[in-house]
Structure 1
Amino acid sequence: MSQKAIIEALKNPDAYDEKVFYVKVLQTHISYIFLTGRYAYKVKKPVNFGFLDFTTLEKRRFYCEEELRLNRRLCGDMYIDVLPITLSDGSVKINGSGKIVEYAVKMKELPQEALMSELLKKGRVDMNVMDEIARILSDFHKKAETNGKIESYGSIDTVRFNWDENFDQTREFIGRTIEHQDYSFIHRAVQEFLKNRKDLFRLRLRKGRIKECHGDLHSGNIFIADRIYIYDAIEFNERFRCCDVASDIAFLLMDLEFLNKSDLSNRFLIKYLEYSGEEEDFLEVLPFYKCYRAYVRGKVTSFKLNDPNITEEEKERSKEIARKYFQMSRQYAEEIF
């Protein structure tokens, strides 16, 4: 049974093993999310982007389980279970009997209007919220796991590999979402920083600042509801999740600056420094990781241009957003070059 047929079947309330109030479908470049009123069900697309491989059912099951494990660190009560999607007598059912044709992560549904990204548009995120997010993340980073393998992801070689992969995967978008001169400038700035600041990366390693982090820390992955939920940590690639805590923080700082919320970005940085005790080396490496995070967002948004499941209107909108991210990456590159 094709995943397209499964997705169509999940739009039917009868496919669920409990009462649903509605079925609304959201999608990203790597997943479908079904909102039902009380719970959300996330199904991974069978895609392979090189850095991510969900092409087999077994891989999707494994990464569903990883998503549950990793996100329970910050959202234990939001992430409920991994459930099979089954086919029996021509009917698709979540947590049913019959042949397993797919898997879903079951989560507590929170109102979309409580997303930080939505609240920011309405000016409804204040300094107290930024203080609390800084406190939560400082505590999270202090407790986050580290070991020899995790630390290897913060080495110069791995950081350079991540950048080389970015440049390789965005070459096709030159002239579409990134200008050739910006691509060349960012490439040159990154190579120079990696060559000239090896001491800085070694210092971050010695200080134990490479951890199993969140990896996708932006306002679209934060709910501000009865409490703050920081969810949707990267499960699909250790190399993106295990990083300098500065890279984690750089993502949210960049995101706030992208949304023209520099006041909130500044407050968040000040409070994170206060809670975490980070020092000058953190501030020195921060623009490098902001540059990286903006570039990755530009890349991921550009991928939508190749997604057959996305409308032309959405592709045009994605093109403009990707351009803005790449322009921001260029601005951060100017700070380190």
Structure 2
Amino acid sequence: MAQTLQLDGNGDYGLDAKVRALRDVATYPEAPRAVEARETHMSWVFLTDDHAYKLKKPVRYDFLDFSTLEKRRVDCEEEVRLNRRLAPEVYLGTVALTIDENSVIRLGGDGTPIEWLVKMRRLPEMHMLDRRIRRGNIASAEMRRVALRLADFYRHCAPIRIDAPGYCRRFADAIELNRRELSRPEFDLPAAIVANAYAAQFTFLARERALLEARVAAGRIVEGHGDLRPEHICLAPEPVVIDCLEFSYELRTVDPADELAFLAMECAYLGAPGPGELLASTCLAAIGDAPPPALVAFYKLFRATMRARLAIWHVHELVRDDWPKWQQSARAYLALADEYARTLSASG
């Protein structure tokens, strides 16, 4: 039997009530055998036998605003539009969570929309790249197929008109933010590594700024994926890349060499640098690009410190007893950053 909902004191049905309803198989028109709910930092994902439904949390940060139903609806539509560039067969559309005159809540019902979700075809988790890396079960041919899929995507991305000094300044501002947050004493992160990573990046910006400016001048900056990580790549039966960064045009305005360096860094973080390096080199060759090694090392270093910051930021939402997991993750990213800083310094 489908659930009923009542308004809370704020005139809303509330996130918790919506999540409870979406955990119930009776809410779905497809009559699934079961529903698995997974919470992320900014959303809830509900997995049925054949589909995945993503609900945006009503949150607001400096970089996004999901605070109203209309803003969440618009973002759901944008997520579908952008992800259909790389995964049209996965992103099926948006669907309303509705409530009728009897206060019965249904997904895709005829009542009044009280929430919006992205509807996707469910992918086989065993074939996601991060899972395959952990199992040590990746064929080079699979990585080449993903690389060629990405190369086709990048070839169809129009160059973005962007101010070269502004592109460099974007890195400088983010590097300073990373340094400031990673240096906070309560996080207990290795201060020497943070300082060396910061110094290597700013030395690069001072001495090799022309490399970044040349990427802008060559028309290499595009509206890309924005969050190219192993968990967003499915290897089989055909390669699919999902979950692009839909909520910020600026953050997905990138150099493909940067995105590919990011992916290579994330593969190294999982203990398997080879697949990421193969994918990156194959994709760059396919689009006729050969970025200088120093630039690639800078991009990797920048991404590693950024991911360390994002990892340690999780502690803001946790009691201190739950900090060690994210401190360990941040330290692992910083260990990679230290390697990349040494590489970058040696190339200077």
TM-score by length of 2: 0.88
Q: Is the 8 A contact 2:189 2:327 kept in 1?
A: no
Larger radius of gyration: 2
Residue in 1 that maps onto 2:334: 326
Whether 1:181 and 2:192 are equivalent positions in the alignment is yes
- Percent identity among equivalent residues? 29
Q: Identify unmatched segments of 5+ residues in structure 2.
A: 1-12
Whether 1:99 and 2:112 are equivalent positions in the alignment is yes
Whether 1:147 and 2:160 are equivalent positions in the alignment is yes
Residue in 2 that maps onto 1:60: 72
Question: Cα 1:106–1:207, aligned 2, differ >3 Å: closer, same or farther?
Answer: same
Residue in 2 that maps onto 1:235: 246
Whether 1:25 and 2:33 are equivalent positions in the alignment is no
| Alignment partners' CA distance in 2, 1:70 and 1:259 | 27
Whether 1:278 and 2:293 are equivalent positions in the alignment is no
Q: Identify unmatched segments of 5+ residues in structure 1.
A: none
> What amino acid sits opposite 1:293 in the alignment?
R
Alpha-carbon offset, residue 288 of structure 1: 1.1
Which structure 2 residues correspond to residues 119-198 of structure 1 after superposition, within 5 A?
A: 119-149=132-162, 155-170=167-182, 172=184, 174-176=185-187, 178-198=189-209
Whether 1:289 and 2:302 are equivalent positions in the alignment is no
Deviations 1:111-148 (A, max 9, x none): 22221111111111111111112211122111113232
| Alignment partners' CA distance in 1, 2:87 and 2:32 | 23
Q: Is the 8 A contact 1:217 1:248 kept in 2?
A: yes
Question: Cα 1:335–1:303, aligned 2, differ >3 Å: closer, same or farther?
Answer: same
> What amino acid sits opposite 1:13 in the alignment?
V
Q: Which sits farther off after the overlay, 47-56 or 98-107? A: 47-56
> What amino acid sits opposite 1:145 in the alignment?
A
Deviations 1:205-245 (A, max 9, x none): 11111001111111110112220111000001112101111
| Alignment partners' CA distance in 2, 1:303 and 1:153 | 29
Whether 1:46 and 2:58 are equivalent positions in the alignment is yes
Residue in 2 that maps onto 1:218: 229
| Alignment partners' CA distance in 2, 1:143 and 1:15 | 40
Q: Is the 8 A contact 1:154 1:243 kept in 2?
A: no
| Alignment partners' CA distance in 1, 2:328 and 2:284 | 33
Alpha-carbon offset, residue 49 of structure 1: 3.3
C-alpha RMSD over aligned residues: 2.3
Alpha-carbon offset, residue 280 of structure 1: 4.3
Question: Cα 1:11–1:211, aligned 2, differ >3 Å: closer, same or farther?
Answer: same
Question: Cα 1:91–1:186, aligned 2, differ >3 Å: closer, same or farther?
Answer: farther
> What amino acid sits opposite 1:307 in the alignment?
E
| Alignment partners' CA distance in 1, 2:186 and 2:338 | 15
- Find the residue that maps to 2:281 and give its secondary structure: helix
Q: Is the 8 A contact 2:257 2:291 kept in 1?
A: no
| Alignment partners' CA distance in 2, 1:280 and 1:216 | 20
| Alignment partners' CA distance in 2, 1:83 and 1:30 | 18
Richer in helix (by share): 1
